[in-house]
Amino acid sequence: MRILVIDVGGTHAKVLVSGTAEPRKFPTGSGFTPQQLVERTRAQTADWTYDAITIGVPSPVLRGEVMKEPWNLGTGWVGFDFSAAFGTRVRILNDAAMQALGSDEGGRLLFLGLGSGLGTALVDDGRVVALELAHLPFRDQTFEDICGQRGLDAMGEAAWRQAVIEASQLLRDAVAAEYVVLGGGNVRLFDELPATIRRGHNDKAFEGGFRAWQPADSTPSPLRALASAAPRQSLRELFANDPGRADRFSLAIGDHLHIDYSKNLVTDDSMAVLHALARKTGVESLRDRMFAGDAINVTEHRAVMHVALRNRSGRPMHVNGRDVMPDIRAALDHMRTFSESVRAGQWLGYSGLHITDVVNIGIGGSDLGPAMVTQAMAAYSREGPRLHFVSNVDGTHLEETLRPLHPATTLFTVASKTFTTQETMTNARSARAWFLSRAQDDTAIAKHFVAISTNEQEVRAFGIAPENMFVFWDWVGGRYSLWSSIGLPIALAAGFGRFEQILDGAHEVDEHFRTAPIERNVPITLGLLGVWYASVLGAETHAVLPYEQYLHRLPAYLQQLDMESNGKRVDRQGHPVQGPTGPIVWGEPGTNGQHAFFQLLHQGTRLVPCDFLAGIESHDSQPEHHRLLLANCFAQTEALMRGKTEDEARGELIAQGLRGAALDALLPHKVFPGNRPSTTILYRKLGPRTIGMLLAIYEHKVFTMGAIWNVNSFDQWGVELGKQLAAAVASDLAATGDASSHDASTNRLINLARQRRADVS
Ligand code: F6P
- Cα–ligand 1 centroid distance for 474 (angstroms): 12
Q: How far apart are CA 187 and CA 416, in angstroms?
A: 66
Longest dimension (CA), the chain: 106
Beta pairing partners, 111: 121, 181
What's the one-letter identity of residue 665? A
Q: What pLDDT, on the 0 to 100 scale, is given for residue 196?
A: 83
Q: To 10 degrees, what angle do helices 688-709 and 496-515 make?
A: 40
Q: Whose CA is nearest to atom 3 of ligand 1?
A: 364
Q: How far apart are CA 27 and CA 391, in angstroms?
A: 70
Q: Strand 24-27 to strand 65-66: parallel, antiparallel, or no bridges (unpaired)?
A: unpaired
Burial class (CB in 10 A: 0-12, 13-18, 19+), 93: buried
Q: Is 426 in the pocket of ligand 1 (CB under 6 A)?
A: no
Q: Is 479 in the pocket of ligand 1 (CB under 6 A)?
A: yes
* pTM listed for this prediction: 0.76
Residue 518 phi, psi dihedral angles, 5° rounding:
-50, -40
Closest ligand 1 atom number to CA of residue 368: 8
Q: Is 70 in the pocket of ligand 1 (CB under 6 A)?
A: no
Q: 37 near 6, Cβ under 8 Å?
A: yes
508, 564, 588, 699: the catalytic one is 564
Closest ligand 1 atom number to CA of residue 486: 14
Q: Is 370 in the pocket of ligand 1 (CB under 6 A)?
A: no
Examine the residue annotation and report whether 507 is marked as an active-site residue of this protein.
no
- Give the residue ranges of the chain where pLDDT is below 50: 217-218
Q: Strand 118-124 to strand 449-453: parallel, antiparallel, or no bridges (unpaired)?
A: unpaired
Q: What pLDDT, on the 0 to 100 scale, is given for residue 19?
A: 80
Q: Is 484 in the pocket of ligand 1 (CB under 6 A)?
A: no
Q: 578 near 537, Cβ under 8 Å?
A: no
Q: What pLDDT, on the 0 to 100 scale, is given for residue 54?
A: 96
CB atoms inside a 10 Å sphere around CB 301: 8
Q: How far apart are CA 387 and CA 360, in angstroms?
A: 7
Q: How far apart are CA 343 and CA 640, in angstroms?
A: 46
Nearest to 142 by CA among 171, 162, 121, 185: 171
Cα(first)–Cα(last) distance of the chain, in Å? 62
Q: What pLDDT, on the 0 to 100 scale, is given for residue 211?
A: 87
Burial class (CB in 10 A: 0-12, 13-18, 19+), 619: middle
Helix boundaries (H) for 53-139: 82-86, 95-103
Examine the residue annotation and report whether 723 is marked as an active-site residue of this protein.
yes
Q: How far apart are CA 542 and CA 532, in angstroms?
A: 12
Nearest to 9 by CA among 91, 103, 119: 119
**Strand-by-strand arrangement of the 610-615 sheet:** 250-253, 257-260, 678-683, 610-615, 541-547, 584-586
Q: What pLDDT, on the 0 to 100 scale, is given for residue 195?
A: 80
**Probe target for ligand 1 pocket from 368, 414, 418, with the most ligand atoms within 8 Å of CB:** 418
Residue 221 phi, psi dihedral angles, 5° rounding:
-150, 130
Report CA-CA distances (Å) from 532 to 229, 455, 537.
10, 40, 6
Non-local (6+) Cβ contacts of 243 within 8 A are none
Q: Backbone dihedral region of 203: left (phi > 0), alpha (psi from -120 to 50 degrees) or beta?
A: alpha
